[in-house]
Chains A and B, each alone.
Chain A
């Protein structure tokens, strides 16, 4: 066994990392192609408010984040469906609102700034076995949902109106996609942190979209890119003593730039 895998915390870090890396592009591809990638960032900030609530009242912060992010996803979806506000305005409101609630709660609590810091920037090396089980359960739910609704999600992403005329329950599936995004964000929060989670949904997906010959391949390439970035990032973080979240996202970006360069030259 390689040296870095001899520690329990690194084993858990790699397992949790690979789970979120495999899941993020499954949601990311549908968000990016519908120009909804900002929703991931928004829900991450809403989830942060949940973390703060959890820390303040003494509930498991991840579960609190999960609840608040899911409620946020439903709220955003409602606002978008009524069409009273332009989509990006609704997202901006929720994003700044989430952050505002989080900072106010922090100032009320005073003592828990350190705990919150871990969720802002990720703390993959402190993943507990319970975190891992939660990631597995949520990750499995997300993967299964996308698998079962793959054709519907594809049709809606391609064109929402023709999807409606195909009899697809577009509104329900949109709501579900928002909720699944919330779940993804909450798992990812432990790994790369609130500030960087949307990078894992977006960067690998963009690579997949550019390179692939078809939709399935785009998803496959995105997952490959995402998992590679997490593995490289965690190794760099372990051997060079870097922040794991930042190292993962930078790995993803470097890999993206190298691929773009290779496509130009070759």
Chain B
């Protein structure tokens, strides 16, 4: 039995200021996939994620989420998203718990009250990410690594079926990175969560993900990471002669 598609991009282009940032990208991500998306700077990785999630409208082609066209998609609680970079103002006067709880809004609907189930979901995800002791601290007072964990907790709080992470590990120290990948593997294996992760760190990603997509405005490669390291695509995108050292944990 073949897995159901979670994300389907068909012939997707995106133009910005007359320049083609994405060119004819066709990519299907199936249930339970753990896909890493790599590519050089300016390859359109973040744009691809934004088109995928309906934040940007493609100039051509179609995008489907869980079988529904993205413009008609409603079940947003099935998706957890971590945007690139520092996604908030460090002076934002909210606590860890308030930020994580705000992720529940897609489960609630406008004007609905915060229920016991919401409270339990927040509690659970704080525990999962080791943030229980920080729950009442203001996010701006945390280290970068902790802030990133808060945003990841927020993305996970609805037990999403699909998690999309854009450069989640910038500014995060090595031990936290390892912990983070362990968590992703657990979600992927135990709950069948589909994961899409964009990174520039080709070395680490190749040893962590099950599938790799290489983007440079066009989709250059989509397959297993081992074959990518042997393939022509690597040299085509990155400078010839660059050798990727695969880390093993």
Contacts and interface: CB of A to CB of B under 8 A. Distances in A.
B94 A215 contact: yes
Interface string B79-92: 10101000111011
Nearest to B102: A155
A33 interface: yes
Nearest to B113: A151
A78 interface: no
A209 interface: yes
B142 to A, nearest CB: 14
B93 A158 contact: no
B110 A158 contact: no
A148 interface: yes
A154 B93 contact: no
A161 B53 CA distance: 10
B91 A166 contact: no
A169 B106 CA distance: 10
Interface string B145-163: 0000000001100000000
Interface of A is mostly: helix
Contacts, number: 80
Interface residues of B, number: 32
Given A148-B111, A151-B102, A213-B136, A166 B93 contact: no
Interface in A76-116: none
A168 to B, nearest CB: 6
A254 interface: no
A214 B138 contact: yes
Contact of A167 (B83, B88, B93, B106): B106
A154 B102 contact: yes
A260 interface: no
Contact of A165 (B74, B76, B110, B138): B76
Interface string A207-234: 0110011111110000000000000000
16 contacts: A149-B110, A151-B114, A159-B88, A161-B50, A161-B81, A165-B53, A165-B106, A166-B76, A167-B74, A167-B77, A169-B110, A208-B93, A209-B93, A212-B93, A213-B138, A215-B98
